[in-house]
Amino acid sequence: MSETMPASERSYAVLGIFDTPDALMQAIPKVRASMLGAVEAYTPYPIHGIDDALGLRKSPLGGMVLVMGILGALTAFGFQYWISAVDYPIITGGKGAGSWEAFIPIMFEVTVLFATFTAGLGMLFLLNKLPFFGHPVLSSKAMSSITRDRYALALEAEDESFDSGAALRALQAAGALEVEVLPAPDRSPFLTSDFILRVLGGIFAACVVSGLAMYFATKWFPLLKPMVYMQDQPRLNAQKPSGFFKDRHGMQRPVAGTVARGHLPTATGTQDAAAALVNPLPRTKEIFAVGRKAYANRCEVCHGALGNGAGSLTAAYGGKPANLQAQQFRDYPDGKIYWAIVNGKNAMPSQAADLTDAQRWAVVHYVRALQRAQNAKDEDLKVATP
Ligand code: HEC
Q: What is the mean pLDDT of residues 21-41?
A: 91
Q: What is the CATH number of the domain that holds 138?
A: 3.30.70
Cβ of 341 closer than 6 Å to ligand 1, yes or no, is: yes
111-147 per-residue burial string, b: 16 or more CB within 10 A, e: under 16: beebbeebbeebeeeeeeeeeeeeebbeebebbebbe
Cβ of 363 closer than 6 Å to ligand 1, yes or no, is: yes
d(C-alpha 244, C-alpha 227), whole Å = 26
d(C-alpha 360, C-alpha 279), whole Å = 10
CB neighbour class for 339 (10 Å; exposed up to 12, middle 13-18, buried from 19): buried
Q: Is residue 152 part of a domain?
A: yes
Q: Is residue 263 part of a domain?
A: no
Ligand 1: residue whose CA is nearest its atom 21: 322
32 CA to middle of ligand 1, Å?
Answer: 107
Looking at the fold, whether 319 and 170 belong to one and the same domain comes out as: no
Closest ligand 1 atom to 363 CA: 35
Looking at the fold, whether 152 and 171 belong to one and the same domain comes out as: yes
Q: Is the peptide bond before 265 cis (omega within 30 degrees of 0)?
A: no
- Give per-residue pLDDT as tens, 154-176: 998 888 888 888 999 999 999 89
Cβ of 292 closer than 6 Å to ligand 1, yes or no, is: no
Confidence of residue 254 (pLDDT cuts 50, 70, 90): confident
Looking at the fold, whether 282 and 298 belong to one and the same domain comes out as: yes
Closest ligand 1 atom to 360 CA: 38
Q: Are 294 and 365 in contact (CB under 8 A)?
A: no
Q: Is residue 158 part of a domain?
A: yes
Cβ of 351 closer than 6 Å to ligand 1, yes or no, is: yes
- Give per-residue pLDDT as tens, 195-250: 889 999 999 999 999 999 999 888 887 767 777 777 778 888 888 888 888 888 88
Confidence of residue 293 (pLDDT cuts 50, 70, 90): very high
Q: Is residue 385 part of a domain?
A: no
Ligand 1: residue whose CA is nearest its atom 26: 340
- Give per-residue pLDDT as tens, 103-137: 999 999 999 999 999 999 988 887 777 766 667 88
pTM: 0.43
Ligand 1: residue whose CA is nearest its atom 11: 321
pLDDT above 90 coverage of the chain, percent: 48
258-277 per-residue burial string, b: 16 or more CB within 10 A, e: under 16: eeeeeeeebbeeebeebbeb
Looking at the fold, whether 50 and 77 belong to one and the same domain comes out as: no
Residue 154's DSSP bridge partners are 15, 40
Query: For the chain, what is the domain count?
Result: 4
d(C-alpha 12, C-alpha 355), whole Å = 89
Cβ of 296 closer than 6 Å to ligand 1, yes or no, is: no
- Give per-residue pLDDT as tens, 4-25: 444 446 788 999 999 999 999 9
Q: Is residue 260 part of a domain?
A: no
Looking at the fold, whether 35 and 139 belong to one and the same domain comes out as: yes
Pocket perturbation via mutation, ligand 1, pick of 348, 356, 364 by most ligand atoms within 8 A of CB: 348
* Dihedrals phi, psi of 129, to nearest 5 degrees: 60, 35
Number of CB atoms found within 10 A of residue 60's CB: 11
Looking at the fold, whether 202 and 290 belong to one and the same domain comes out as: no
- Here the contacts of 29-32 (C-beta below 8 Å, separation 24 or greater) are 29/53, 30/170, 30/173, 30/174, 31/153, 31/155, 31/170, 31/171, 31/174
Q: What is the mean pLDDT of residues 59-85?
A: 94
d(C-alpha 209, C-alpha 126), whole Å = 30
Q: In the prediction, which pLDDT does 5 show?
A: 45
Mean pLDDT computed over every residue of the chain? 87
Collapse the DSSP code of 307 into the 3-class scheme (helix H, G, I; strand E, B; otherwise coil) and give the result: coil
Looking at the fold, whether 114 and 135 belong to one and the same domain comes out as: no
Q: Is residue 148 part of a domain?
A: yes
Confidence of residue 361 (pLDDT cuts 50, 70, 90): very high
DSSP 124: I
Cβ of 365 closer than 6 Å to ligand 1, yes or no, is: no
Ligand 1: residue whose CA is nearest its atom 29: 337
Ligand 1: residue whose CA is nearest its atom 39: 299
Ligand 1: residue whose CA is nearest its atom 37: 299
Q: In the prediction, which pLDDT does 270 show?
A: 86
Looking at the fold, whether 145 and 27 belong to one and the same domain comes out as: yes
Looking at the fold, whether 177 and 313 belong to one and the same domain comes out as: no
Q: Is residue 114 part of a domain?
A: yes
Pocket perturbation via mutation, ligand 1, pick of 302, 343, 359 by most ligand atoms within 8 A of CB: 302
Looking at the fold, whether 303 and 362 belong to one and the same domain comes out as: yes
Ligand 1: residue whose CA is nearest its atom 40: 299
Q: What is the CATH number of the domain that holds 344?
A: 1.10.760.10
Confidence of residue 263 (pLDDT cuts 50, 70, 90): low
Looking at the fold, whether 29 and 172 belong to one and the same domain comes out as: yes
87 CA to middle of ligand 1, Å?
Answer: 48
H-assigned helices in 275-384: 285-298, 300-303, 327-330, 334-343, 357-374, 378-381
Residue 179's DSSP bridge partners are 16
Q: Is residue 2 part of a domain?
A: no
Domain of residue 203, residue span: 195-252
Q: Which of 225, 252, 279 is the last residue of a domain?
A: 252
Number of CB atoms found within 10 A of residue 359's CB: 21
Cβ of 364 closer than 6 Å to ligand 1, yes or no, is: no
238 CA to middle of ligand 1, Å?
Answer: 30
Residue 249's DSSP bridge partners are 241
Q: In the prediction, which pLDDT does 163 show?
A: 87
Q: In the prediction, which pLDDT does 228 show?
A: 76
In degrees, rounded to 5, the angle at the alpha carbon of residue 61 between the alpha carbons of residues 60 and 66 is: 105
Collapse the DSSP code of 147 into the 3-class scheme (helix H, G, I; strand E, B; otherwise coil) and give the result: coil
pLDDT above 70 coverage of the chain, percent: 91
Cβ of 298 closer than 6 Å to ligand 1, yes or no, is: yes
d(C-alpha 270, C-alpha 253), whole Å = 22
Q: In the prediction, which pLDDT does 377 show?
A: 84
Cβ of 362 closer than 6 Å to ligand 1, yes or no, is: no
Cβ of 290 closer than 6 Å to ligand 1, yes or no, is: no
d(C-alpha 114, C-alpha 130), whole Å = 20
Q: Which of 120, 148, 164 is the last residue of a domain?
A: 120
Residue 153 has pLDDT above 90, yes or no: yes
Looking at the fold, whether 27 and 156 belong to one and the same domain comes out as: yes
Q: How far is CA 125 from the centre of its chain?
A: 29
Pick the more confident residue, 97 or 338: 338
Q: What is the mean pLDDT of residues 299-319?
A: 88
Confidence of residue 2 (pLDDT cuts 50, 70, 90): very low
DSSP 336: H
